[in-house]
Amino acid sequence: MGAISIELLLASLMVASTPILLAAIGELVVEKSGVLNLGVEGMMITGAICGFAVAVETGSPFLGFVGAALGGATLSVIFAVLTQYLLSNQVATGLALTLFGLGFSALIGQGYVGIKPPAIGSVNLGILSDIPFVGPVLFSHDVTVYVALALVAAVWAFLKFSRAGLILRAVGESHEAAHALGYKVVRIRFLAILFGGACAGLGGAYLSLVRVPQWTEGMTAGAGWIALALVVFGAWKPWRVLLGAYLFGGVTVLQLNLQAAGLKVPVELLSMSPYLITILVLVIMSADRRRAALNAPAALGRVFHAST
Protein backbone atom coordinates (compact mmCIF):
# COMPACT_ATOMS: atom_id res chain seq x y z
CA MET A 1 0.00 0.00 0.00
CA GLY A 2 2.22 2.75 1.28
CA ALA A 3 1.41 6.27 0.21
CA ILE A 4 -1.85 7.93 1.04
CA SER A 5 -3.49 10.07 -1.61
CA ILE A 6 -4.00 13.61 -0.31
CA GLU A 7 -6.74 14.12 -2.84
CA LEU A 8 -8.76 11.13 -1.65
CA LEU A 9 -8.05 12.02 1.93
CA LEU A 10 -9.47 15.51 1.61
CA ALA A 11 -12.45 14.31 -0.39
CA SER A 12 -13.38 11.72 2.22
CA LEU A 13 -12.73 14.27 4.96
CA MET A 14 -15.73 16.24 3.72
CA VAL A 15 -17.88 13.13 3.78
CA ALA A 16 -16.61 12.02 7.18
CA SER A 17 -17.33 15.37 8.78
CA THR A 18 -20.87 15.79 7.44
CA PRO A 19 -22.76 13.69 10.05
CA ILE A 20 -21.26 15.45 13.06
CA LEU A 21 -21.48 18.80 11.31
CA LEU A 22 -25.23 18.37 10.83
CA ALA A 23 -25.77 17.30 14.42
CA ALA A 24 -23.52 20.02 15.81
CA ILE A 25 -25.11 22.87 13.90
CA GLY A 26 -28.52 21.76 15.19
CA GLU A 27 -27.25 21.52 18.76
CA LEU A 28 -25.68 24.97 18.37
CA VAL A 29 -29.10 26.47 17.74
CA VAL A 30 -30.54 24.56 20.71
CA GLU A 31 -27.79 25.77 23.02
CA LYS A 32 -28.07 29.33 21.71
CA SER A 33 -31.64 29.27 22.96
CA GLY A 34 -30.34 28.31 26.40
CA VAL A 35 -31.08 24.58 26.35
CA LEU A 36 -28.50 21.82 26.78
CA ASN A 37 -29.71 18.69 25.02
CA LEU A 38 -27.34 15.82 25.78
CA GLY A 39 -29.53 13.46 23.77
CA VAL A 40 -27.77 14.15 20.46
CA GLU A 41 -26.38 10.60 20.33
CA GLY A 42 -29.87 9.15 20.85
CA MET A 43 -31.45 11.40 18.24
CA MET A 44 -28.68 10.64 15.75
CA ILE A 45 -29.06 6.91 16.03
CA THR A 46 -32.83 7.20 15.82
CA GLY A 47 -32.38 9.27 12.67
CA ALA A 48 -29.95 6.68 11.37
CA ILE A 49 -32.44 3.84 11.61
CA CYS A 50 -35.51 5.87 10.62
CA GLY A 51 -33.74 7.18 7.56
CA PHE A 52 -32.41 3.75 6.71
CA ALA A 53 -35.79 2.05 7.10
CA VAL A 54 -37.68 4.66 5.09
CA ALA A 55 -35.06 4.67 2.33
CA VAL A 56 -35.11 0.88 2.09
CA GLU A 57 -38.91 0.65 2.12
CA THR A 58 -39.49 3.44 -0.40
CA GLY A 59 -36.32 3.06 -2.39
CA SER A 60 -35.77 6.79 -2.13
CA PRO A 61 -32.80 8.16 -0.21
CA PHE A 62 -34.46 11.56 -0.27
CA LEU A 63 -37.53 10.26 1.57
CA GLY A 64 -35.08 8.50 3.87
CA PHE A 65 -33.56 11.79 4.91
CA VAL A 66 -37.02 13.27 5.44
CA GLY A 67 -37.92 10.30 7.62
CA ALA A 68 -34.66 10.70 9.56
CA ALA A 69 -35.35 14.36 10.26
CA LEU A 70 -38.86 13.48 11.42
CA GLY A 71 -37.54 10.64 13.59
CA GLY A 72 -34.93 12.83 15.27
CA ALA A 73 -37.44 15.62 15.75
CA THR A 74 -40.01 13.25 17.24
CA LEU A 75 -37.54 12.04 19.81
CA SER A 76 -36.62 15.63 20.60
CA VAL A 77 -40.29 16.36 21.28
CA ILE A 78 -40.06 14.05 24.30
CA PHE A 79 -37.09 16.06 25.53
CA ALA A 80 -38.85 19.35 24.85
CA VAL A 81 -42.02 18.35 26.70
CA LEU A 82 -40.09 17.01 29.68
CA THR A 83 -37.70 19.93 30.04
CA GLN A 84 -39.89 22.83 28.95
CA TYR A 85 -43.29 21.86 30.34
CA LEU A 86 -42.48 19.39 33.10
CA LEU A 87 -39.32 21.25 34.08
CA SER A 88 -37.12 18.19 34.35
CA ASN A 89 -33.37 18.40 34.70
CA GLN A 90 -31.84 18.88 31.24
CA VAL A 91 -28.76 16.76 31.87
CA ALA A 92 -30.75 13.78 33.13
CA THR A 93 -33.35 14.09 30.39
CA GLY A 94 -30.72 14.29 27.68
CA LEU A 95 -29.08 11.15 29.02
CA ALA A 96 -32.44 9.41 29.09
CA LEU A 97 -32.92 10.38 25.46
CA THR A 98 -29.61 8.81 24.52
CA LEU A 99 -30.24 5.60 26.47
CA PHE A 100 -33.74 5.28 25.06
CA GLY A 101 -32.66 6.13 21.53
CA LEU A 102 -29.97 3.44 21.54
CA GLY A 103 -32.45 0.77 22.66
CA PHE A 104 -35.31 1.95 20.53
CA SER A 105 -33.23 2.15 17.34
CA ALA A 106 -31.90 -1.36 17.93
CA LEU A 107 -35.47 -2.51 18.28
CA ILE A 108 -36.69 -1.05 14.99
CA GLY A 109 -33.47 -1.94 13.26
CA GLN A 110 -33.73 -5.70 13.78
CA GLY A 111 -35.07 -6.47 10.34
CA TYR A 112 -32.60 -4.17 8.58
CA VAL A 113 -29.27 -5.68 9.53
CA GLY A 114 -27.16 -6.63 6.55
CA ILE A 115 -29.27 -4.86 3.93
CA LYS A 116 -27.82 -2.36 1.47
CA PRO A 117 -29.65 0.97 1.25
CA PRO A 118 -30.47 2.58 -2.13
CA ALA A 119 -27.47 4.53 -3.36
CA ILE A 120 -27.41 8.30 -3.42
CA GLY A 121 -25.71 9.83 -6.41
CA SER A 122 -23.29 12.74 -6.35
CA VAL A 123 -24.46 16.07 -7.65
CA ASN A 124 -23.49 16.87 -11.17
CA LEU A 125 -21.60 20.10 -10.94
CA GLY A 126 -20.47 19.82 -14.56
CA ILE A 127 -17.17 21.42 -15.29
CA LEU A 128 -16.40 22.16 -11.65
CA SER A 129 -16.05 18.47 -10.90
CA ASP A 130 -13.46 18.11 -13.63
CA ILE A 131 -11.02 20.64 -12.23
CA PRO A 132 -7.96 18.66 -11.23
CA PHE A 133 -7.57 18.13 -7.48
CA VAL A 134 -10.15 20.77 -6.49
CA GLY A 135 -12.88 18.99 -8.44
CA PRO A 136 -12.69 15.61 -6.68
CA VAL A 137 -12.06 17.24 -3.31
CA LEU A 138 -14.82 19.87 -3.33
CA PHE A 139 -17.23 19.25 -6.19
CA SER A 140 -17.92 15.56 -6.43
CA HIS A 141 -20.05 14.80 -3.40
CA ASP A 142 -23.67 13.93 -2.80
CA VAL A 143 -26.16 16.70 -2.21
CA THR A 144 -26.26 16.27 1.58
CA VAL A 145 -22.69 17.50 1.92
CA TYR A 146 -23.70 20.77 0.29
CA VAL A 147 -26.95 20.95 2.22
CA ALA A 148 -24.94 20.73 5.43
CA LEU A 149 -22.68 23.55 4.29
CA ALA A 150 -25.69 25.64 3.30
CA LEU A 151 -27.21 24.96 6.70
CA VAL A 152 -24.11 26.35 8.41
CA ALA A 153 -24.39 29.52 6.36
CA ALA A 154 -28.12 29.75 6.99
CA VAL A 155 -27.76 29.34 10.75
CA TRP A 156 -24.99 31.92 10.78
CA ALA A 157 -27.10 34.44 8.86
CA PHE A 158 -30.20 33.64 10.92
CA LEU A 159 -28.42 34.28 14.21
CA LYS A 160 -26.56 37.33 13.04
CA PHE A 161 -29.04 39.22 10.92
CA SER A 162 -32.61 38.12 11.51
CA ARG A 163 -34.93 39.37 14.20
CA ALA A 164 -35.98 35.82 15.04
CA GLY A 165 -32.31 34.99 15.53
CA LEU A 166 -31.88 37.97 17.82
CA ILE A 167 -34.86 36.83 19.88
CA LEU A 168 -33.46 33.30 20.06
CA ARG A 169 -30.13 34.59 21.32
CA ALA A 170 -31.90 36.85 23.81
CA VAL A 171 -33.85 33.91 25.23
CA GLY A 172 -30.58 32.01 25.64
CA GLU A 173 -28.96 34.95 27.39
CA SER A 174 -31.66 35.60 29.98
CA HIS A 175 -35.04 33.95 29.96
CA GLU A 176 -36.30 36.23 32.73
CA ALA A 177 -35.59 39.33 30.69
CA ALA A 178 -37.03 37.82 27.52
CA HIS A 179 -40.15 36.82 29.43
CA ALA A 180 -40.48 40.29 30.92
CA LEU A 181 -40.42 41.72 27.40
CA GLY A 182 -43.22 39.37 26.46
CA TYR A 183 -41.38 36.75 24.43
CA LYS A 184 -42.66 33.19 24.61
CA VAL A 185 -39.58 31.54 26.07
CA VAL A 186 -40.97 28.02 26.15
CA ARG A 187 -42.31 28.13 22.60
CA ILE A 188 -39.06 29.50 21.19
CA ARG A 189 -37.02 26.85 22.99
CA PHE A 190 -39.43 24.15 21.89
CA LEU A 191 -38.89 25.08 18.25
CA ALA A 192 -35.13 25.25 18.70
CA ILE A 193 -35.13 21.76 20.25
CA LEU A 194 -37.17 20.44 17.31
CA PHE A 195 -34.70 21.92 14.87
CA GLY A 196 -31.82 20.34 16.79
CA GLY A 197 -33.58 16.98 16.73
CA ALA A 198 -34.18 17.15 12.99
CA CYS A 199 -30.55 18.06 12.31
CA ALA A 200 -29.26 15.24 14.51
CA GLY A 201 -31.61 12.87 12.67
CA LEU A 202 -30.20 13.99 9.32
CA GLY A 203 -26.67 13.48 10.62
CA GLY A 204 -27.54 9.97 11.72
CA ALA A 205 -29.11 9.12 8.38
CA TYR A 206 -26.02 10.34 6.58
CA LEU A 207 -24.05 7.73 8.52
CA SER A 208 -26.38 4.84 7.73
CA LEU A 209 -27.24 5.82 4.14
CA VAL A 210 -24.01 7.29 2.76
CA ARG A 211 -20.99 7.05 4.95
CA VAL A 212 -21.11 3.41 6.05
CA PRO A 213 -23.67 2.59 4.30
CA GLN A 214 -25.60 -0.03 6.24
CA TRP A 215 -27.36 -0.42 9.55
CA THR A 216 -25.65 -1.80 12.66
CA GLU A 217 -26.67 -1.40 16.28
CA GLY A 218 -24.98 1.50 18.06
CA MET A 219 -23.37 2.58 14.79
CA THR A 220 -23.10 6.25 15.81
CA ALA A 221 -20.35 5.18 18.24
CA GLY A 222 -20.15 8.48 20.09
CA ALA A 223 -20.61 10.78 17.08
CA GLY A 224 -23.39 12.60 18.96
CA TRP A 225 -21.09 13.28 21.88
CA ILE A 226 -18.42 14.52 19.56
CA ALA A 227 -20.99 16.86 18.01
CA LEU A 228 -21.69 18.22 21.49
CA ALA A 229 -17.99 18.76 22.01
CA LEU A 230 -17.79 20.54 18.65
CA VAL A 231 -20.27 23.17 19.82
CA VAL A 232 -17.99 23.97 22.75
CA PHE A 233 -14.96 23.84 20.47
CA GLY A 234 -16.65 26.22 18.03
CA ALA A 235 -17.45 28.63 20.87
CA TRP A 236 -21.09 28.65 19.71
CA LYS A 237 -20.11 30.12 16.35
CA PRO A 238 -21.31 28.35 13.18
CA TRP A 239 -18.16 28.77 11.07
CA ARG A 240 -15.92 27.57 13.85
CA VAL A 241 -18.15 24.54 14.31
CA LEU A 242 -17.56 23.82 10.62
CA LEU A 243 -13.83 24.12 11.17
CA GLY A 244 -14.07 21.75 14.12
CA ALA A 245 -16.06 19.24 12.10
CA TYR A 246 -13.42 19.25 9.37
CA LEU A 247 -10.67 18.85 11.91
CA PHE A 248 -12.45 15.89 13.43
CA GLY A 249 -13.33 14.45 10.03
CA GLY A 250 -9.69 14.79 9.07
CA VAL A 251 -8.51 12.87 12.11
CA THR A 252 -11.03 10.11 11.50
CA VAL A 253 -10.13 9.71 7.85
CA LEU A 254 -6.43 9.88 8.55
CA GLN A 255 -6.53 7.19 11.22
CA LEU A 256 -8.63 4.93 8.98
CA ASN A 257 -6.12 5.41 6.18
CA LEU A 258 -3.25 4.75 8.51
CA GLN A 259 -4.95 1.55 9.65
CA ALA A 260 -5.44 0.51 6.06
CA ALA A 261 -1.86 1.39 5.22
CA GLY A 262 -0.78 -1.08 7.88
CA LEU A 263 1.19 1.40 9.93
CA LYS A 264 3.17 -0.06 12.83
CA VAL A 265 0.87 1.52 15.39
CA PRO A 266 -1.66 -0.57 17.31
CA VAL A 267 -5.07 -0.42 15.64
CA GLU A 268 -6.73 0.32 18.97
CA LEU A 269 -4.58 3.39 19.49
CA LEU A 270 -5.62 4.71 16.07
CA SER A 271 -9.27 3.92 16.77
CA MET A 272 -9.24 5.84 20.02
CA SER A 273 -7.42 8.82 18.55
CA PRO A 274 -10.55 10.75 17.47
CA TYR A 275 -11.87 10.61 21.03
CA LEU A 276 -8.55 11.56 22.56
CA ILE A 277 -8.13 14.46 20.16
CA THR A 278 -11.66 15.66 20.93
CA ILE A 279 -10.81 15.68 24.64
CA LEU A 280 -7.57 17.51 23.96
CA VAL A 281 -9.36 20.15 21.91
CA LEU A 282 -12.01 20.56 24.61
CA VAL A 283 -9.31 21.15 27.18
CA ILE A 284 -7.62 23.78 25.05
CA MET A 285 -10.88 25.57 24.37
CA SER A 286 -12.10 25.64 27.94
CA ALA A 287 -8.77 26.46 29.56
CA ASP A 288 -9.27 30.17 28.98
CA ARG A 289 -12.18 30.58 31.38
CA ARG A 290 -13.03 34.16 30.57
CA ARG A 291 -13.21 33.60 26.83
CA ALA A 292 -15.15 30.40 27.20
CA ALA A 293 -17.69 32.14 29.43
CA LEU A 294 -18.01 35.11 27.11
CA ASN A 295 -19.44 33.06 24.27
CA ALA A 296 -21.50 30.51 26.17
CA PRO A 297 -25.21 31.42 26.36
CA ALA A 298 -25.69 32.68 29.91
CA ALA A 299 -28.92 30.77 30.55
CA LEU A 300 -27.56 27.44 29.20
CA GLY A 301 -29.11 24.49 31.00
CA ARG A 302 -31.13 26.54 33.47
CA VAL A 303 -34.75 25.65 34.09
CA PHE A 304 -37.26 28.35 33.27
CA HIS A 305 -40.55 28.60 35.11
CA ALA A 306 -42.60 31.77 34.78
CA SER A 307 -43.90 32.18 38.31
CA THR A 308 -46.15 35.14 37.60
Partner 1 sequence: MSFEPAQTPLLLLEGLTKAYPGVVANDQVGFSIAPGEIHALLGENGAGKSTLVKTIYGLVKPDAGRMELHGEAYMPAKPSEARRRGVAMVFQHFSLFEALDVAENIALGMEDPPPRRDLSERIRSVSEEYGLPLDPSRRVGDLSVGERQRVEIIRCLLQNPKLLIMDEPTSVLTPQEVDMLFTTLRTLSAEGTAILYISHKLDEIRSLCDAATVLRHGKVVGDCIPRETSARAMAELMVGATLQTPARAAGTRGEVLLEARGLSLPSERQFGTALKSIQMQVRSGEILGIGGVAGNGQDELLDVLSGESRAPAGTLFFEGQDIAALGPRQRRAMGLLTAPEERLGHAAAPDMSLVENAMLTGDPRMSLVRNGMLDWPKTREFAKKIIADFDVRTPGSHVAARALSGGNLQKFVIGREVLQNPRALVVNQPTWGVDAAAAAAIRQALLDLAEQGTALIVISQDLEEILEIADNFAALNEGRLTEPRPAAGLSLEEIGLMMGGAHDMDTAHHAEA
Partner 2 sequence: MIRLEKRPTPSRLWTALTPLVAVLATVIAGGLMFAALGKDPVEAIRTIFYDPLFNEQFASYSRPQLLVKAGPLILIAIGLSLGFKAGIWNIGAEGQYIMGAICGGGVGLALYPSESPLIFPLMVLAGALGGWAWAMIPAILKTKFNTNEILVSLLLVYVAEQLLASVSLGLLRSPDGGGFPGSRNFQHWDAAANVELFPGTGMHWGVVAAFIAVIGAYVLLARHMLGYQIRLTGAAPRAARFSGVNPTRLIVTCLGLSGALAGLAGMFEVSGPAGQLSIDFGSNYGFTAIIVAFLGRLHPVGILLAGLLMALTYIGGELAQFMLGLPAAAIQAFQGMLLFFLLAVDVLTNFRIRLIKSEVA
Which residues contribute to the site for partner 1 (CB under 8 A)?
163, 166-167, 169-170, 173-174, 176-178, 180-183, 290, 293-294, 297-298, 308
Report the candidate in 27, 110, 34, 117 with the shortest Cα–Cα distance to residue 72: 27
Near partner 2 in 23-82, by CB under 8 A? 38, 78, 81-82
Q: What angle do CA 154, 210, 134 make, to 5 degrees?
A: 65
- Distance of CA 247 to CAs 144, 145, 174, Å? 19, 16, 32
Among 4, 95, 143, 258, the residue binding partner 2 under the rule CB under 8 A is 95
By CB under 8 A, is residue 194 in contact with partner 2?
Answer: no
294 binds, among partner 2, partner 1, none (CB under 5 to 8 A by kind): partner 1
**Amino acid symbol at 72:** G
By CB under 8 A, is residue 262 in contact with partner 2?
Answer: no
DSSP 87-135: ---HHHHHHHHHHHHHHHHHHHGGGGTTPPPPP-PBP--THHHHSTTHH
Near partner 2 in 103-132, by CB under 8 A? 103-107, 109-110
Closest contact distance (angstroms) between CB of 290 and partner 1 is 7
Alpha-helical segments (H) within 139-184:
143-161, 163-173, 175-180
Closest contact distance (angstroms) between CB of 209 and partner 2 is 21
Give the number of C-alpha atoms closer than 13 A to the C-alpha of residue 245, restricted to the C-beta side.
30
166 binds, among partner 1, partner 2, none (CB under 5 to 8 A by kind): partner 1
H/E run at residue 86: none
Q: Contact at 8 Å (CB) between 74 and 68?
A: no
Q: Based on CB atoms, which residue is closest to partner 2, 118 or 222? A: 222
By CB under 8 A, is residue 304 in contact with partner 2?
Answer: no
308 binds, among partner 1, partner 2, none (CB under 5 to 8 A by kind): partner 1
Q: Which residues bind partner 2 (CB under 8 A)?
A: 38, 78, 81-82, 86-89, 91-93, 95-96, 99-107, 109-110, 217, 221-222, 225-226, 228-229, 232, 266, 268-269, 271-272, 275-276, 278-279, 282-283, 286-287, 289, 292, 305, 307
